[in-house]
């Protein structure tokens, strides 16, 4: 299984997407989420999921 790469270059096997109150989505690794404050549950809602083969192919 290949991995999803964060904008910082770190590879993830689970994707975490953070949604703000306006509905904007950002997908980052745990380290970036902490660094930029996306792990603040009062401001952002997190959805975590694993790559499916179809998503994996689209990410190549």
pLDDT digits (tens, 9 = 90+) for 7-48: 999 998 888 899 999 999 999 999 999 999 999 999 999 999
Question: 36: helix, coil or strand?
Answer: helix
Whether residue 58 lies inside any domain: the answer is no
Whether residue 28 lies inside any domain: the answer is yes
| Total domains in the fold of the chain | 1
Residue 17's H or E segment, with its range, is strand 14-19
Whether residue 34 lies inside any domain: the answer is yes
Among the listed residues 1, 14, 18, 8, the one whose alpha carbon sits nearest the alpha carbon of residue 57: 1
- What pLDDT, on the 0 to 100 scale, is given for residue 8? 93
Cα 30 from chain centroid?
Answer: 8
Whether residue 12 lies inside any domain: the answer is yes
Q: What is the pTM of this model?
A: 0.68
Q: Is residue 57 scored above 60 in pLDDT?
A: no
Full residue range of the structural domain in which residue 22 is found? 4-51
Whether residue 47 lies inside any domain: the answer is yes
- What pLDDT, on the 0 to 100 scale, is given for residue 49? 81
């Amino acid at each position: 299984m290949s991995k999803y790469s964060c904008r910082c270059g770190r590879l993830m096997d689970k994707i975490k997407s953070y949604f703000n109150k306006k509905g904007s989505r950002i997908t980052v690794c745990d380290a970036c989420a902490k660094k930029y404050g996306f792990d603040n549950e009062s401001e952002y809602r997190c959805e975590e999921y694993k790559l499916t083969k179809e998503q994996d192919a689209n990410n190549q």
